[in-house]
Chain A
């Protein structure tokens, strides 16, 4: 207001301080960048490439925001956008990627891990390097194995799965080793019992245990012989195939599973890109498509009726009790707000108890008054009605709050003008209140629709999608909506987890939601609001 009085020295001082501040900022940014850089480096070295790239992007963004003067506005959002990138964008990109892979049971690990695991599989050869052996057993059923090869070299080895050295030096007096016998085997080892032939051949564990160096494990083959295990499959990186050591069968890489010509598969497979297979399966498989039609129709019905019911109950309350002359408004509002004030999961679980067909209070009341006892959880339409009742209860207070605010903001002189023109109460509501209200709460109506379209908590906690659709090949119920169906498909299905396929349906669902959201933005001028003239 009195800008002219700013002294020039003050300006100068401020600039100097800012200069010092800039240096400090640069240093701080450097420290943060180094810390994050190290973090990204560690991620890369663990093989987590995509997440590492994500952190590199974050480092770039922070550096640009704080060090490039022209990009100063990004300072304000650098941290927020980093969190957004990491926990909103990256998961979506990852889901899109998964939708084109067979990630899921049998394909949970990376190719390198799968190759390692297959290479680690061994077999006990019929011939090959063999040893004489003597076993020692501790009271805890840990074993030591003394070995002597054809050249007469002896050694004492430990179990592979017991931590510690693979081999214990055969020196009397050390590690509790007693005198050696004529063969060179210890007569006693402290804490262990030397097993004689009979004890050894009746010991059930002994032939299953792997001894020695994990790279070259040794296993007991017969009462007289122990032998070195050999890798069962050899990997050829050039052709990306495995060959069976005994039969010579070659296993070719087929979409993440090494498969022989006769169809035999090696386990484990790895998560591989399978192209549009998941989407094709989604469209073609009748067992999957059947319940999906029912589910999609119900999904739209559920969201529509939920919105209509909650909106009209809420609007009705705010019209009837919005009159400033109405006494007790405040206490009434507090009481009617109660459903909104309790975490919804808790009230959903309470309603579930109340709707319990045999024990719940609702049926006990209905029985004593009307002598009926509806099967809320087993009859499809009754279950759906119960859900809508619960959802109306959960949602109307929101619309009560929103519409009462919006009604107040409609200027009173419009009504006065209408009254002079002789408009009736209904006409005023129909032609003034409703259109103006819809303009102001329209976007909230669409987001409420979208919210209910994906109202997983209610469906899942109240009834878990039930009652089940008998003809469906997957877990699907009459009250399932797409998101709960996808969730069960991915995590709860009896056929094991199918992240790839679930991701594909997630994407389809996301498209649906995105179209609805775009409609919302177009319809409500939210896009225009972004413009310059705000």
Chain B
């Protein structure tokens, strides 16, 4: 539409130059800690004070230490974390999607006050109720030890139950954007609620399902206070608890091993983000603009 005289072109070039200059600064700020930890992980010096960005003679000794060090069963922790995060995510996802469907598609008495209280209750930080959570899990475990203290099942229940509120809202908000005409015409065709949900609505929910599962996976994977409280045995703990315990010790002297562990622990989440970036951004902004 608009013409491109040479002066405009020049100012565009200048614009491009300062934009890229700024971009370099921003990129440095954003990736420096990552570069630093990568460098620390391959630096055999293993000491915070003597670390350089480009280590003198690099190697994978720190990673080897992670496998062999008996005090830190790192890969058991990693496995625990992955299992706990996966199962809680699947549970949260199915529970919230079903509930959100009811809130989005049915009109019933108490709907508004239920939605409001879900939202309000959600703002109570889980952390403050940690004594209560501990007590509940202990008492449940006294009857069914499978779900008691020091079990992954108990922790998964706590995570899934605690994450309901905001996810129901996110999911319901997204469902509301799907026109109800679609399901009404399906109902006229004789489809049951379940058919409408599973055949019509569910396939359309893919973006928000991806967003909620990623957020929930990352949230549970990164949580450490509740995990530390409920899981007391070393072999049962998660990788975040493990790393946190690691830093409580003399970690400036074991900086290299910590770096190696941190890097491996961060890897699953980083991979998810880089692969699913577009869906995350799409979903986040959908959820964001809505509202």
Which residues of chain A have a CB within 8 Å of any CB of chain B?
1-3, 6, 10-11, 14, 18, 39, 42-43, 46, 48, 51, 72-77, 79-81, 83-84, 86-92, 94-95, 98, 103, 317, 320-321, 326, 332-347, 349-354, 356, 358-361, 393, 397, 401-402, 404-406, 408-409, 440-444, 450, 454, 456-457, 460-461, 483, 486-487, 490, 499, 502-503, 506, 509-510, 513-514, 516-518, 521, 524-527, 529-532, 534
Of listed B99, B218, B240, residue having the most chain A CB within 10 A:
B99
Which residues of chain B have a CB within 8 Å of any CB of chain A?
16, 19, 22-23, 26-27, 29-31, 33-34, 36-37, 47-49, 51, 53, 95-96, 98-99, 101-104, 106-108, 111-112, 115-116, 118-129, 131-133, 135-136, 139-140, 142-144, 157-158, 160-162, 164-165, 168, 173, 176, 185, 188-190, 192-193, 218, 221-222, 224-225, 240, 243-244, 247, 251-252, 255, 258-259, 262, 265-266, 269-270, 272-274, 277, 280-282, 284-286, 288-289, 291
B125 to chain A minimum Cβ distance, whole angstroms, is 5
Q: In the complex, which of the residues A76, A408, A442 contacts B98, with contact meaning CB atoms closer than 8 Å?
A: A76
Which B residues touch A352, using CB under 8 A?
Answer: 247
Known interface pairs A3-B189, A86-B161; A353-B291 also in contact (CB < 8 Å): no
B33/A351 in contact, CB under 8 A = yes
Known interface pairs A91-B129, A95-B132, A320-B19; A406-B48 also in contact (CB < 8 Å): no
Which B residues touch A80, using CB under 8 A?
Answer: 95-96, 98-99, 164, 168
Q: In the complex, which of the residues B26, B53, B189, B285 contacts A408, with contact meaning CB atoms closer than 8 Å?
A: B285
B136/A336 in contact, CB under 8 A = no
Report Cα–Cα, A423/B158, bound state, in Å.
Answer: 54
B51/A361 in contact, CB under 8 A = yes
Report Cα–Cα, A409/B139, bound state, in Å.
Answer: 50
Which A residues touch B185, using CB under 8 A?
Answer: 1, 3
Which B residues touch A526, using CB under 8 A?
Answer: 119, 291
B287 to chain A minimum Cβ distance, whole angstroms, is 9
Known interface pairs A6-B190, A88-B161, A342-B270; A514-B265 also in contact (CB < 8 Å): no
B102/A87 in contact, CB under 8 A = no
Known interface pairs A335-B31, A359-B252, A404-B285; A46-B222 also in contact (CB < 8 Å): no
Q: In the complex, which of the residues B99, B115, B270, B289 contacts A76, with contact meaning CB atoms closer than 8 Å?
A: B99
B161/A409 in contact, CB under 8 A = no
A401/B266 in contact, CB under 8 A = no
Report Cα–Cα, A94/B218, bound state, in Å.
Answer: 28
Which A residues touch B19, using CB under 8 A?
Answer: 320-321, 326
B189/A6 in contact, CB under 8 A = yes
B139/A43 in contact, CB under 8 A = yes
Which A residues touch B36, using CB under 8 A?
Answer: 350, 354, 361
Of listed B128, B132, B185, B291, residue having the most chain A CB within 10 A:
B128
Which B residues touch A359, using CB under 8 A?
Answer: 47-49, 252
B277/A337 in contact, CB under 8 A = yes
A343/B252 in contact, CB under 8 A = no
Which B residues touch A486, using CB under 8 A?
Answer: 128
Q: List 14 A-B contacts (CB under 8 A).
A: A84-B165, A90-B136, A92-B121, A336-B27, A338-B34, A347-B33, A349-B244, A393-B29, A393-B30, A483-B125, A487-B127, A502-B131, A514-B120, A514-B123
Q: In the complex, which of the residues B53, B96, B120, B258 contacts A518, with contact meaning CB atoms closer than 8 Å?
A: B120
Closest-by-CB residue of A relative to B285 is A405
Chain A interface main SS type: helix
Known interface pairs A39-B143, A406-B285; A353-B123 also in contact (CB < 8 Å): no
Known interface pairs A88-B161, A350-B262, A405-B288; A534-B176 also in contact (CB < 8 Å): yes
Which 9 residue pairs of A and B lie closest in terms of their CB atoms, listed nearest first? A405-B285, A87-B161, A91-B129, A76-B102, A83-B161, A91-B132, A77-B99, A341-B273, A80-B95
Which A residues touch B140, using CB under 8 A?
Answer: 51
A19 to chain B minimum Cβ distance, whole angstroms, is 13
B226 to chain A minimum Cβ distance, whole angstroms, is 10
B123/A517 in contact, CB under 8 A = yes
Q: In the complex, which of the residues B27, B33, B190, B222 contacts A354, with contact meaning CB atoms closer than 8 Å?
A: B33
Report Cα–Cα, A467/B152, bound state, in Å.
Answer: 36
Report Cα–Cα, A345/B23, bound state, in Å.
Answer: 26
A14 to chain B minimum Cβ distance, whole angstroms, is 7
Report Cα–Cα, A39/B16, bound state, in Å.
Answer: 67
Report Cα–Cα, A188/B262, bound state, in Å.
Answer: 64
Which A residues touch B53, using CB under 8 A?
Answer: 361
Of listed B123, B144, B164, residue having the most chain A CB within 10 A:
B123
A345/B244 in contact, CB under 8 A = yes
B156 to chain A minimum Cβ distance, whole angstroms, is 10
A456 to chain B minimum Cβ distance, whole angstroms, is 6
Report Cα–Cα, A281/B136, bound state, in Å.
Answer: 28
B282 to chain A minimum Cβ distance, whole angstroms, is 8
B244/A332 in contact, CB under 8 A = no
A334/B240 in contact, CB under 8 A = no
Q: In the complex, which of the residues B102, B247, B273 contacts A74, with contact meaning CB atoms closer than 8 Å?
A: B102
Closest-by-CB residue of B relative to A84 is B164
A406/B244 in contact, CB under 8 A = no
A445 to chain B minimum Cβ distance, whole angstroms, is 10
Report Cα–Cα, A442/B19, bound state, in Å.
Answer: 28
Which B residues touch A320, using CB under 8 A?
Answer: 19, 22
Which A residues touch B188, using CB under 8 A?
Answer: 3
Closest-by-CB residue of B relative to A344 is B222
Closest-by-CB residue of A relative to B23 is A332
B285/A360 in contact, CB under 8 A = no
Known interface pairs A343-B218, A401-B284, A517-B123; A334-B162 also in contact (CB < 8 Å): no
Report Cα–Cα, A3/B186, bound state, in Å.
Answer: 9
Which B residues touch A354, using CB under 8 A?
Answer: 33, 36
Known interface pairs A84-B165, A527-B116; A341-B274 also in contact (CB < 8 Å): yes
Closest-by-CB residue of B relative to A81 is B99
Q: In the complex, which of the residues B102, B132, B162 contacts A77, with contact meaning CB atoms closer than 8 Å?
A: B102
Known interface pairs A89-B121, A349-B244, A518-B120; A14-B190 also in contact (CB < 8 Å): yes
Report Cα–Cα, A509/B127, bound state, in Å.
Answer: 12
Report Cα–Cα, A381/B103, bound state, in Å.
Answer: 47
Closest-by-CB residue of A relative to B103 is A77
Report Cα–Cα, A404/B243, bound state, in Å.
Answer: 34
Q: In the complex, which of the residues A2, A79, A98, A393 contacts B33, with contact meaning CB atoms closer than 8 Å?
A: A393
B38 to chain A minimum Cβ distance, whole angstroms, is 11
Closest-by-CB residue of B relative to A335 is B27
